[in-house]
Chain A
Amino acid sequence: MPILELSHVDKHYGKYHALRDINLSIEPQSIFGLLGPNGAGKTTMIRIITGITAADSGTVSFNGKPFQQRHAEEIGYMPEERGLYKKMKVWEQLVYLAQLKGLSSRNAKDRVFAWMDKMEIKDWWNKKIEELSKGMSQKVQFISTVIHEPKLIILDEPFSGLDPVNSVVIQNEIEALRKKGATILFSTHRMEQVEEICESIALINKGSIILNGNVKEIKQQFKQDLFEVECKGVLPQLNEEYVEVVSRIENKTNIRLKNGTTSKDLLKMLVQSDADVLGYNEVLPSLNEIFIKQVTEQTHE
């Protein structure tokens, strides 16, 4: 049973059609990427999932049940626009936010100090948020998102503004939380991270989902019969009736298959050509390429 399921979700802001007939399903313990250019409707979608705003029509199910306000306690949400009470002390802030997620005061305190220890910000426990560095307040923000051990963690551009060291710290924590049973929903427009981390994605543009599924499957779906061949010296001329050389960088050559030629055929041709082949693999399009292609195609329609 999916942890989160949206079906036929529609949302208007006045005359502006923010989301059109969104259907989406996220499996538990997966890492899901929500991609799309700015203004595509990602934030609106997240706000509907977190119960901040309601859809005009359609349903949102959490763990198989229609979404209710109490489910908010099982969701942890880190908005793109980070925010904390600047004048509050670190520990008070965290305890307060944890209590709002339904934790008892005592339980909240214990967890806050355990997390501060883990994230190495314990020395700053009694400092005001405004006295912290940006990286440290990002850590505080992250703790506040996961302190109540939510089943679903929604992170909007989690790595923006993080230095590489803190980025890795957060990334490791995310992975650890997933192993413990949490489902992670990423929202970002930075594709290389999604490729690294996410299993499934949904690509959203102008309020509609234009692509949805497993990352590997999507890449297969958009593959262009492109292969990279690495060989010693120069690759001999191949029959241009079956293949086409797309690019040549040093001793790596990108070859596209033509007219129903298969990978097996290409290998045979390479063997026959007496080339000294060092490497051979299929080139799958990056999500970035797919993304740009889809978005521009849709824009031109």
Chain B
Amino acid sequence: MNKTWLIIKREYITRVRKKLFLVTTILAPVGIALITLLPLFMANVSTETVNIGVIDKSNLFYEKLQSSNGLHFVYLNEEYEQAKTGYLSAGLNGILYISPDFNMYDGIGVEYYSKDPMGLKAKSAIEDQMSKITRNLKLAKIDLTPEMIDQLSTDVRIKSIVSNERGTQEGNTAMATAIGTIMGFVIYMVMLLYGTQVMRGVMEEKTNRIAEVMVSSVKPFQLMLGKIIGIGMVGLTQFIIWIILIALIQMGVGVMYGEQLAQLQNIPAGTGGAQAQGVPEIVQAMGNMTQLPWGYIISSFLYFFTGGYLLYAALFAAVGSATGEEADQSLTLIVTLPVVISIMIMINIMEQPNGTLAIVSSLIPFTAPIIMCARLPFHPPAWQLILSMISLAAGFLFTTWLAGKIYRVGILMYGKKVTIKELGKWLFYKD
């Protein structure tokens, strides 16, 4: 059996079997799901109705407050002080008191009296209703209806048409930016997280002194490559499990809470009528998502994902081999810096995804994985994509060669601290 394959297998199995792997792989998506679902759960849990006695001395709100969303209004004909003593025995949770000098223009003069503090949701629901009522009252004073106001404000929307050699199609800048940024960040995480895992693995082998036993059976390059590929496969496994789990959770949620989710999306964030029109935009964006060329995006993403990981993992392996028990901060920094710079460039180019900075940085192998991935949804010209891919391939062949040269000397060098100048010398040692 091929020995590199044996090494890949060991690196993979020992990591996947660890409890930490199981915990992070399974719990992370569950955690994300919990956080997104918490509001839904909460909405379902707090279904207990709050009974509120309303004493309206201003006579503006009589019979206008509507019972809904767990709030039930009862209009009382007693005095405030009287009600304060008897509301509990009447089965009420609190009293909403609107004083006779309530002023429509500053909204002051409303009190809520209760034993338990008022819930935030109930408070904002009542405030919203009362604001709307006063608004309509004020409109009526100048002979306007709410419909007329809605007609006044017009929502202008720009349709972006992208025309290039791939044809003309409708583009959605917001969605493209979101997807591009997410993909860029995923690659950033992969390169740093799994890259440092490779580095720690190499350091462990060196400090355990197993490296010398290993290289008496296999070539140092095989050992390095086996580790890089093994850990890369661990990362891939983790991502695939995450994607499957998230998809499953979403499906489950869709079945269980489908209606409520639709409701949540339809509830406008504020009270203003204008914001209600934000809903169709979200729906439109969702629609556009399915129109994106997913086949092209996913396959290119996987290419840059793999290429970027290989390029940086090789460098991290070299750093690990050159350092001892503790990671050499300056060497690690040299390797990490281009990754961090890539992210900073990415944030900057999202405004101009096909500008000069974007083009140049997607052709440099060290920044290409993050930058090109972020640009994928913006339909970069084909020649740039192909050139970027070639540059990345050349880049990782180069770093792997370079790392191999450093690695074979580094893993057998004990005890002394290595300078960058010395690393340079190692490149010219004969095997």
B431 interface contact, C-beta 8 A: yes
B213 interface contact, C-beta 8 A: yes
**B425 A14 Cβ-Cβ under 8 A:** yes
Interface residues in A, total, Cβ within 8 A: 31
**B431 A97 Cβ-Cβ under 8 A:** no
**B208 A84 Cβ-Cβ under 8 A:** yes
Closest CB of chain A to B318's CB: distance in Å?
Answer: 17
A99 interface contact, C-beta 8 A: yes
From B14, B215, B219, B425, name the one whose CB has the most chain A CB atoms within 10 angstroms.
B215
**B212 A84 Cβ-Cβ under 8 A:** no
**A100 B218 Cβ-Cβ under 8 A:** yes
Chain A residues with a Cβ under 8 A of chain B: 13-14, 47, 50-54, 56, 69, 72-73, 75, 77-79, 81-88, 96-97, 99-101, 104, 144
Chain B residues with a Cβ under 8 A of chain A: 1, 3, 6-7, 10, 14, 208-219, 408, 412, 414, 425, 429-431
**B217 A100 Cβ-Cβ under 8 A:** yes
Question: With A and B bound together, what is the CA distance between A104 and B1 in angstroms?
Answer: 8
Question: With A and B bound together, what is the CA distance between A97 and B223 in angstroms?
Answer: 13
Known contacts being A54-B430, A54-B431, A99-B6, is A81 close to B218, with CB within 8 Å?
no
> 8 more A-B contacts (CB under 8 A) besides A56-B430, A72-B216, A100-B218?
A47-B412, A72-B217, A72-B218, A77-B213, A82-B209, A85-B14, A104-B1, A144-B213
Q: Which A residue sits closest to B1, measured CB to CB?
A: A99
The residue that B210 contacts in the complex, of A54, A73, A85, with Cβ under 8 A, is A85
Which residues of chain A come closer than 8 Å to B210, judged between CB atoms?
A: 83-85
Known contacts being A13-B429, A84-B210, is A100 close to B215, with CB within 8 Å?
no
Known contacts being A14-B425, A56-B430, A88-B14, is A83 close to B212, with CB within 8 Å?
yes
**A79 B213 Cβ-Cβ under 8 A:** yes
A contact patch SS? loop
**B209 A97 Cβ-Cβ under 8 A:** no
**B429 A100 Cβ-Cβ under 8 A:** no
**A81 B431 Cβ-Cβ under 8 A:** no
Closest CB of chain B to A124's CB: distance in Å?
Answer: 19
Question: With A and B bound together, what is the CA distance between A81 and B212 in angstroms?
Answer: 8
**A83 B213 Cβ-Cβ under 8 A:** yes
Q: Which B residue sits closest to A69, measured CB to CB?
A: B219
The list of the 6 closest CB pairs from A to B, nearest first, reads A83-B209, A83-B210, A100-B217, A81-B209, A77-B216, A79-B212
Q: Which B residue sits closest to A51, measured CB to CB?
A: B216
**A100 B430 Cβ-Cβ under 8 A:** no
Which residues of chain B come closer than 8 Å to A79, judged between CB atoms?
A: 209, 212-213, 216
The residue that A52 contacts in the complex, of B1, B215, B429, with Cβ under 8 A, is B215
Known contacts being A88-B14, A96-B10, is A52 close to B213, with CB within 8 Å?
no
- Pairs across A and B, CB under 8 Å, 12 listed: A51-B216, A52-B412, A54-B431, A77-B216, A78-B213, A83-B211, A84-B213, A86-B208, A96-B6, A96-B10, A99-B1, A101-B217
Question: With A and B bound together, what is the CA distance between A47 and B414 in angstroms?
Answer: 15
The residue that A100 contacts in the complex, of B3, B14, B212, B412, with Cβ under 8 A, is B3
